[in-house]
Amino acid sequence: MQHLRTTVARLRPITATQTVKSQSQARPMAVGGALRTFEPMRSYTTSVSAEPFMNGTSSNYVEEMYYAWLENPRSVHKSWDIIFRNANAGVSPGAAYQSPPPLGGAALGLANAQAMVGAQPNMEKLVEDHLAVQSLVRAYQVRGHHIAKLDPLDIGVIDFDESPVIHLWGKERLYDLTAGGFYGLDESDLDKVFRLPTTTFIGGSESVLPLKEIISRLEMAYCQSIGVEFMFINDLEQCQWIRQKFERPGVMQFTLEEKRTLLTRMVRSTKFEEFLQRKWSSEKRFGLEGCESLIPALKTIIDKSSMNGVESIIMGMPHRGRLNVLANVIHKELDQIFCQFDSKLEAADEGSGDVKYHLGMWHRRINRVTDRNITLSLMANPSHLEAVDPVVQGKTKAEQFYCGDTEGKRVMSILLHGDAAFAGQGVVYETFHLSDLPSYTTHGTVHVVVNNQVGFTTDPRVARSSSYPTDVAKVVNAPIFHVNADDPEAVMYVCNVAAEWRATFHKDVVVDLVCYRRNGHNEMDEPLFTQPLMYKQIKKQKGVLQKYSEKLLAEGAVSRQDYEEEIAKYDKICEEAHARSKDEKILHIKHWLDSPWPGFFNVDGQPKSMTSLSTGLPEEELVHIGYIASSVPVEDFTLHRGLSRILKGRTAMVGQRRVCDWALGEYMAFGSLLKEGTHIRLSGQDVERGTFSHRHHVLHDQKIDRRICIPMNHISPNQAPYTVCNSSLSEYGVLGFELGFAMASPNALVLWEAQFGDFNNTAQCIIDQFICPGQAKWVRQNGIVLLLPHGMEGMGPEHSSARPERFLQMCNEDPDTYPVSEFAVRQLYDCNWIIVNCSTPANYFHILRRQILQAFRKPLIVITPKSLLRHPEAKSSFDDMLPGTHFQRLIPDSGPVCENPEAVKRIVFCTGKVYYELTRERNNRGNDDIVAIARIEQLSPFPFDQVKVETDRYPNADLVWCQEEHKNQGYYDYVKPRLRTTVDRTRPVWYAGRGPAAAPATGNKAAHLVELQRFLDTAFNLDAFTEQS
Ligand SMILES: Cc1ncc(C[n+]2csc(CCOP(=O)(O)OP(=O)(O)O)c2C)c(N)n1
Ligand SMILES: [Mg+2]
């Protein structure tokens, strides 16, 4: 909250009124050359507002126009000019309107108007005073939050230098008033009665109030423990809604029952941390001390949302207060939490697990306030702050999708943030930008910021350039409710409003809990090293529970005995759970699962089958889907001619040649899975057409704007829906979102395609923190598919490499051990992810189908081609896709080398597109009987068994790994030790490829071609390695 550049003095808005006033003070305004005077009292607030069209939201519009007219009468339409002149001239209500003067009669009309502007001298002052009141109201609405008492420490982390916080009735403010700085109102006006504008609700049932009362009510609404930021919202209905919520007199009153519930929640929140501190004083837990009201805040949002019909809430949050949220919001058994502090617990599940303040949780229970079922899940997350935000959104979207909740009425998300992370992490912005996109919206998220005014050891003044940590939310017009977290009733109030806002408008909203952090970043840290003054103040600060209980005791809302009993009761609960936790000898990470998949596994949590099924399809089905892919299955649709040609080409491939190209292979896989009931969601930048204009899953009518056709949704009447969506230009946010979507159900094929593979690195955190180790850390599987276009095609260093080396480097397989178990399935089950680089459309088709047909889920990384999309040889016959066929982990050479394998001098192993360059070169050289080429299609898990078949088949051949990527990139470092392990280190493995380099590819096309030819020469030169051997 530093740099609050606007101050109380700056409560004065820069409005037309102000400009008018300064101008009118400098010199009287002229209308049509004559001096402008004003009629008394009949002005704007009376006669104009009595015009029949001056009601509801139109009055705001008219109001703006009136300001503009005051500044320059010519800036509005003539008819309005006349209305305002007449109104000012005291024409009776309803009579101010006159038809505009005829063209050419301007002079006459003006003369009349001048005559109508009577000589009633007090009018100007009256109008100005009313406008001043209106400006005052607006000033509080816009900037009241600048002087609200938001900081429990009152140490002004916000830069209040130029902003004397002055109470209205204090001398300074009166001075301010009498100095003429307050819109021209002065002390003598305080008892005058003013009509309230329609843009305020402070009057309740009153339409007029004395100025003193107006100011007092505005102070109550906008300058106490709540600071409301909303006037930037460009929707009048929404602004009015918020005004009502905070301005209506008496809105912040609570029943005795509500106060007691709030106190109980505060007791639990506070005493939970105290209990942990007592028992494990030297353990890190990232406690909530200083923001204990977070717990009642969340519970209020949940209660209110449950009341509004929400049945499932998906939450994401960072470290701070996480254990408390698990215990007191999600209701994780306390003994399960406490036993996490026992370092002697043995891990029972597979995987390496995670620290206690990262684990997730899923729990269905009855909401006590509403008596309705509610499911709460807290997503497991890595340390990387805010990374979980898009994942939560994706999972929420998926749950909404699967239960047909198209408006977000039954499923919603809550995201918690730290102040420093919310302001600093770009993924927050990326996530906000998904919030209103048709295929990504979750229909409103409630964001809660634990704003303890520090990030680790860093002050806000050096951590962000915005006034508040929450400014990022303004990009989506989300209202922001700042609240002093030491005022639990105010916290409860804003949380209620936030939940109602979400239920009413289905848009994001932010609650900024302004608080402090009683301890260091964690319980071991010494905060005085870096925040000495802040922590001197914190040491003096009474705890919020103490303050609130004193308030309720003083009010008589609770008795001391009841209060003490409540504390004792919770203490007992904690002690008993602690005793039980000592019996726990084994840590079950499965108990911390955030996304169970009921029915997918057998009762022991194992896959229902470990066999490898054929992924082929009957010919009729291939033909049927192929024809859908070649057609426009709706009437009267005008297709682009170029696209008609493409579809015709597909028809020919299906009907005459029985072959698939890449796009058709993908179509066959998608179409068949949809037909079998699997939902498919393909998301990424420009995926609908395909970056390389090969896919065309969404057809656009060339004559009717926005009329589209998705043939994939016309495959069969009972098929599952197909979602294909161009995403926002984000990788981190969108990949996180799709990962979350894939988490919700195993029965969906969720794919994210990078525009070019290299862009995956802006989503690195999702890949490194979630996709690669997700199962190991959180025992949850995920079948997300990443399609990463890749290939050295002379396009320069960018757009060439999907960085396969990075994915391969993160595989959990041991390169030095030849696996003994059954390969095809067991290896897949044991791996952390699958990495493939298919060289044929048929293999691509099979891998996509296998992803769903296998009985467990693993992330699949597909290194996809670019030039192969149209390569004449990169076509597959239907024969390779029929029943009985399946994904080929390795494609052996089936040419002349098979006739006399003993005579083969070399096996060149390769993967992906370079295969076609190798075969072309081999044909040119005519040595296809002595050099075999084998394609490794599944890089990870490595097909040791099938590689062994090849190396055994050609006992006299040397082994070469050939790749088009540079030596320190691509696959070489991954493949070499595995090849060596396969041949038991009896034969060397030679390298043919580009040399090591810093960049993925040269920017020079000629150099690219020279490099290509050079490594092809090496690959086929049988003497190339003699000197090295
Ligand atoms: C992406 C990322 N960068 C850095 C860190 C290291 N880190 C952990 S907590 C923290 C400070 C967070 O401050 P804030 O968001 O205000 O939350 P608080 O700890 O104050 O509750 C930092 C920098 C991290 N966890 N994630
Ligand atoms: Mg912080």
Residue-wise pLDDT tens digits, 139-157: 999 989 988 999 999 886 5
The helix/strand/coil state of 840 is: coil
Is residue 420 in contact with ligand 1, taking CB distance under 6 Å? Answer: yes
The alpha carbon of 458 and the centre of ligand 1 are apart by a number of angstroms equal to 10
The alpha carbon of 424 and the centre of ligand 1 are apart by a number of angstroms equal to 10
Give 376-433 pLDDT, tens digit per residue. 999 999 999 999 999 999 999 999 999 999 999 999 999 999 999 999 999 999 999 9
The alpha carbon of 302 and the centre of ligand 1 are apart by a number of angstroms equal to 26
DSSP 339: G
The alpha carbon of 392 and the centre of ligand 2 are apart by a number of angstroms equal to 21
Tell me how far apart the alpha carbons of residues 522 and 867 are, in angstroms, rounded to a whole number: 53
What is each CA distance from 923 to 693, 791, 850, 935, in whole angstroms? 31, 22, 34, 17
Q: Which amino acid is it at 697?
A: H
Q: At what angle do helices 619-629 and 662-675 cross, to 10 degrees?
A: 110
Give 540-588 pLDDT, tens digit per residue. 999 999 999 999 999 999 999 999 999 999 999 999 999 998 887 776 7
342 CB neighbour count, 10 Å cutoff: 13
Q: Residue 385: nearest ligand to its CA?
A: 1
Check residue 349 and give its pLDDT.
61
For 998, counting Cβ atoms within 10 Å of its Cβ (0-12 exposed, 13-18 middle, 19+ buried), the class is exposed
C-alpha 991, offset from chain centre: 44
The alpha carbon of 450 and the centre of ligand 2 are apart by a number of angstroms equal to 7
28 CB neighbour count, 10 Å cutoff: 13
Give percent above pLDDT 90 in the chain.
74
Give percent above pLDDT 70 in the chain.
86
Q: Give the closest residue (by CA) to ligand 1 atom 1.
A: 384
Q: Give the closest residue (by CA) to ligand 1 atom 2.
A: 384
Is residue 455 in contact with ligand 1, taking CB distance under 6 Å? Answer: yes
Is residue 358 in contact with ligand 1, taking CB distance under 6 Å? Answer: no
Contacts of 180 (CB under 8 A, 6+ apart): 186
Mean pLDDT, to the nearest integer, of 496-520? 97
Is the pLDDT assigned to residue 44 strictly greater than 80?
no
Nearest to 973 by CA among 955, 991, 946: 991
Tell me how far apart the alpha carbons of residues 518 and 990 are, in angstroms, rounded to a whole number: 62
Three-state helix/strand/coil letters over 988-1008 = CEEEEEECCCCCCCCCCHHHH
1028 CB neighbour count, 10 Å cutoff: 8
Is residue 388 in contact with ligand 1, taking CB distance under 6 Å? Answer: no
Mean pLDDT, to the nearest integer, of 824-846? 95
Tell me how far apart the alpha carbons of residues 735 and 714 are, in angstroms, rounded to a whole number: 27
> How much is the CA Rg of the chain, to the nearest whole Å?
35
Nearest to 210 by CA among 197, 194, 229: 194
Q: Are 854 and 828 in contact (CB under 8 A)?
A: yes
Nearest to 618 by CA among 678, 670, 668: 668
- Local confidence band at 78 (pLDDT 50, 70, 90 cut-offs): confident
Q: What six digits make up the tokens of 508?
A: 């994001």
Question: Which residue(s) pair with 752 in the sheet?
Answer: 683, 786
DSSP 181: I
Q: What six digits make up the tokens of 640?
A: 């682009």
Is the pLDDT assigned to residue 817 strictly greater than 70?
yes
Check residue 156 and give its pLDDT.
67
Strands 445-451, 722-726: pairing kind: unpaired
Q: Residue 525: nearest ligand to its CA?
A: 1
Contacts of 91 (CB under 8 A, 6+ apart): 42, 47, 116
Check residue 342 and give its pLDDT.
75
Is residue 452 in contact with ligand 1, taking CB distance under 6 Å? Answer: yes
Give 581-620 pLDDT, tens digit per residue. 888 777 676 677 778 898 999 888 889 999 888 999 999 9
Check residue 94 and give its pLDDT.
52
Strands 699-700, 708-709: pairing kind: antiparallel
Is residue 421 in contact with ligand 1, taking CB distance under 6 Å? Answer: yes
Check residue 62 and give its pLDDT.
67
Q: Which amino acid is it at 192?
A: K
The answer for 895, left when phi > 0, alpha when psi is -120 to 50, beta otherwise, is beta
Is residue 938 in contact with ligand 1, taking CB distance under 6 Å? Answer: no
Q: What six digits make up the tokens of 414?
A: 């809550």
Higher pLDDT, 385 or 171: 385
Q: Residue 418: nearest ligand to its CA?
A: 1
The alpha carbon of 454 and the centre of ligand 1 are apart by a number of angstroms equal to 10
Tell me how far apart the alpha carbons of residues 621 and 631 are, in angstroms, rounded to a whole number: 15
Q: Are 758 and 801 in contact (CB under 8 A)?
A: yes
Is residue 288 in contact with ligand 1, taking CB distance under 6 Å? Answer: no
Q: Report the largest interatomic distance among the alpha carbons of the chain, rounded to a whole angstrom.
A: 115
Nearest to 486 by CA among 748, 183, 152: 152
Nearest to 67 by CA among 26, 108, 16: 16
Is the pLDDT assigned to residue 32 strictly greater than 70?
no
Check residue 496 and give its pLDDT.
98
Check residue 347 and give its pLDDT.
64
How much is the mean pLDDT over the chain?
A: 88
The label of the residue with tokens 């092809």 reads 1016
The helix/strand/coil state of 755 is: coil
The label of the residue with tokens 């505009």 reads 100
Atom of ligand 1 nearest to the CA of 425: 1
Mean pLDDT, to the nearest integer, of 177-181? 49
What phi, psi does 355 have (nearest 5°)? Answer: -70, 160
Q: What six digits make up the tokens of 557?
A: 């809302």
Is residue 457 in contact with ligand 1, taking CB distance under 6 Å? Answer: no
DSSP 249-303: TTTT---HHHHHHHHHHHHHHHHHHHHHHHH-TTS-----TT-TTHHHHHHHHHH
Q: What six digits make up the tokens of 741?
A: 């979507």
Atom of ligand 1 nearest to the CA of 419: 16
Tell me how far apart the alpha carbons of residues 948 and 979 are, in angstroms, rounded to a whole number: 8
Mean pLDDT, to the nearest integer, of 502-510? 98
Q: Residue 416: nearest ligand to its CA?
A: 1
The alpha carbon of 625 and the centre of ligand 1 are apart by a number of angstroms equal to 50
Is the pLDDT assigned to residue 29 strictly greater than 70?
no
Tell me how far apart the alpha carbons of residues 874 and 134 are, in angstroms, rounded to a whole number: 72
Q: Is the dihedral of CA 376, 377, 383, 387 positive or negative?
A: negative
Mean pLDDT, to the nearest integer, of 303-314? 97
Higher pLDDT, 48 or 620: 620
DSSP 619: H
Give 937-973 pLDDT, tens digit per residue. 999 999 999 999 999 999 999 999 999 999 999 999 9
Check residue 63 and give its pLDDT.
67
The H or E element spanning position 367 is strand 361-367
Give 854-876 pLDDT, tens digit per residue. 999 999 999 999 999 999 999 99
Is residue 765 in contact with ligand 1, taking CB distance under 6 Å? Answer: no
The alpha carbon of 578 and the centre of ligand 2 are apart by a number of angstroms equal to 30
Q: Are 1003 and 797 in contact (CB under 8 A)?
A: yes
Q: Give the closest residue (by CA) to ligand 1 atom 10.
A: 456
Tell me how far apart the alpha carbons of residues 767 and 843 are, in angstroms, rounded to a whole number: 24
Query: Does a cis peptide bond (omega within 30 degrees of 0) precede residue 52?
Result: no
The helix/strand/coil state of 30 is: strand
Least confidently predicted of 105-109, 589-593, 831-835, 889-893: 105-109
C-alpha 494, offset from chain centre: 23
Contacts of 295 (CB under 8 A, 6+ apart): 265, 266, 268, 269, 288, 321, 324, 325, 328, 329
Check residue 553 and give its pLDDT.
98
Q: Are 856 and 829 in contact (CB under 8 A)?
A: yes
Check residue 616 and give its pLDDT.
98
Is the pLDDT assigned to residue 26 strictly greater than 50?
no
Is residue 811 in contact with ligand 1, taking CB distance under 6 Å? Answer: no
- Local confidence band at 13 (pLDDT 50, 70, 90 cut-offs): very low
DSSP 609: -
Is residue 419 in contact with ligand 1, taking CB distance under 6 Å? Answer: yes
Nearest to 990 by CA among 969, 1020, 1014, 953: 1020
Is the pLDDT assigned to residue 38 strictly greater than 90?
no
The alpha carbon of 421 and the centre of ligand 1 are apart by a number of angstroms equal to 6
Check residue 181 and give its pLDDT.
57
Model confidence pTM above 0.85: yes
Is the pLDDT assigned to residue 49 strictly greater than 90?
no
Q: Residue 288: nearest ligand to its CA?
A: 1
Check residue 734 and give its pLDDT.
98
Is residue 383 in contact with ligand 1, taking CB distance under 6 Å? Answer: yes
Contacts of 985 (CB under 8 A, 6+ apart): none
Check residue 25 and give its pLDDT.
33
The alpha carbon of 489 and the centre of ligand 1 are apart by a number of angstroms equal to 28
Atom of ligand 1 nearest to the CA of 452: 20
For 135, counting Cβ atoms within 10 Å of its Cβ (0-12 exposed, 13-18 middle, 19+ buried), the class is buried
Question: Which residue(s) pair with 753 in the sheet?
Answer: 684, 787
The H or E element spanning position 910 is strand 906-910
Q: What six digits make up the tokens of 2?
A: 């530093």
Q: Give the closest residue (by CA) to ligand 1 atom 23.
A: 456
The alpha carbon of 418 and the centre of ligand 1 are apart by a number of angstroms equal to 7
Three-state helix/strand/coil letters over 350-392 = CCCCCCHHHCCEEEEEEECCCCEEEEEEECCCCCCCCCHHHHH
As a whole number of Å, the end-to-end CA separation of the chain is 68
The alpha carbon of 294 and the centre of ligand 1 are apart by a number of angstroms equal to 18
Mean pLDDT, to the nearest integer, of 331-346? 83
| Pocket probe mutation, ligand 1, options 456, 512, 531, max atoms within 8 Å of Cβ | 456
The alpha carbon of 421 and the centre of ligand 2 are apart by a number of angstroms equal to 8
What is each CA distance from 589 to 344, 415, 722, in whole angstroms? 15, 23, 34
| Pocket probe mutation, ligand 1, options 385, 461, 517, max atoms within 8 Å of Cβ | 385
Atom of ligand 1 nearest to the CA of 517: 20
Give 343-364 pLDDT, tens digit per residue. 676 666 666 777 777 788 888 8
Check residue 336 and give its pLDDT.
87
Q: Residue 454: nearest ligand to its CA?
A: 2
Is residue 836 in contact with ligand 1, taking CB distance under 6 Å? Answer: no
- Local confidence band at 677 (pLDDT 50, 70, 90 cut-offs): very high
Is residue 320 in contact with ligand 1, taking CB distance under 6 Å? Answer: yes
Give 252-305 pLDDT, tens digit per residue. 999 999 999 999 999 999 999 999 999 998 888 899 999 999 999 999 999 999
The helix/strand/coil state of 148 is: coil
Contacts of 388 (CB under 8 A, 6+ apart): 316, 317, 379, 381, 382, 736
Tell me how far apart the alpha carbons of residues 355 and 333 are, in angstroms, rounded to a whole number: 17
Higher pLDDT, 164 or 874: 874
Is the pLDDT assigned to residue 832 strictly greater than 70?
yes
Query: Starting at the edge strand that comes first in sequence, how are the strands of the sheet with 834-836 ordered?
Result: 722-726, 679-684, 748-753, 785-789, 860-864, 834-836, 938-940
